Structure 1
């Protein structure tokens, strides 16, 4: 089996971005445990294409490629800054363009950043329902972080680092379980 692929997507259109750096830190921590490759994307790379696309069949090549990367990933790490209590509109618009069955059973890590702890429930009241619609395999640990959790836009607080490590462990367990299941099914495929 080839090395797994982790794709991260941050619904942030600013640089530097705490959200993008959080998504990347989660993906890299998981990759260190699994020998996975990592690709990270955000809105700055697809902003014009995404905003003008209403139908995925007419998506420009850069957006089409991103959708293909997301749907082909072995693990998806998503994150959004919180605006007015929820994820960004263009973050949601990207996932509106993805076929509903394309993320079925795909392990997904949820993360978000915000200005205060008041928005911490965005993980459970915003992101979790969105990916439950896709029947994704949403990992138990979601990560919400605020500005004091970062230093120079990088995850820094011990609490945040511990949560990143915990979800990275969950990713590795999920990937190992998936590989074991694939190996168990190989003899059955040979019989058929």
Structure 2
């Protein structure tokens, strides 16, 4: 399974990157050993110039194009932003502004944020969740916010593990369903529809086709 982590931290080292790494480790731990996870981290700090150029030119640079392709092809995402003015950072939003509008359709996303005070924890539900719902992603029930005082305190580890387990389970389920559909196992597709049957299978089915004119005449006789 392919997991892409998008980190919008600006400093080095960054508490945003630290939270991103711990969430990724929780996903890998929850998925093992049944489903190995390939993790790729996208550091938006390194793409800031190319993101700005994309807005003015309409074309992504090489590194930005690779990052956009990685996000589009991922089986699941972890997105982490620092809080600026009670919302996600401008760099974070800009990256998803240049992403194709259908790239996250149906993709599971674990949202997370870091901030200096616990008062900003509502950023998860007031900013991040609406953004990814608009992009038609599947936003996990658990979001993880880490304030400065949360590091080393009780509760953060449990939230990280719960969020990681939720993402690992959803990624594994979607991958299994996709594999079953591709091999013709008869499982429903991700869209919820049953796989199409062959004409021979339809012929063998026990049903009778009644022409519309005959059904209409029967209704008139009644």
TM-score with structure 2 setting the length: 0.77
- Structure 1 segments, 4+ long, off by >3 Å, are 188-192
Structure-to-structure mapping, 1:160-175, within 5 angstroms:
160-175=156-171
The question of whether the paired residues in 2 share the 8 Å contact of 1:104 and 1:134 is answered with: yes
Structure 1: runs of 5+ lacking an equivalent: 151-155
Structure 2: runs of 5+ lacking an equivalent: 187-194, 199-222
Of 166, 185, 188, which aligns to 1:187? 185
Q: Which residue of 1 aligns with 2:25?
A: 28
Are 1:96 and 2:94 an aligned pair?
no
Higher relative contact order structure (alpha carbons within 8 Å, sequence separation ≥ 6)? 1
Shift of 1:57: 4.6
Q: Which residue of 2 aligns with 1:178?
A: 174
Q: Which residue of 1 aligns with 2:39?
A: 38
Shift of 1:183: 4.3
Other structure's SS at 1:102 match: coil
Q: Which residue of 2 aligns with 1:59?
A: 60
TM-score with structure 1 setting the length: 0.89
Shift of 1:187: 2.5
**CA distance in structure 2 between the partners assigned to 1:56 and 1:31 by the alignment:** 38
**CA distance in structure 1 between the partners assigned to 2:133 and 2:45 by the alignment:** 26
CA RMSD, aligned part only?
1.8
- State which structure, 1 or 2, has the greater radius of gyration over its C-alpha atoms: 2
Distance 1:42 1:181, change over 3 A: same
Residues matched between the structures, number? 184
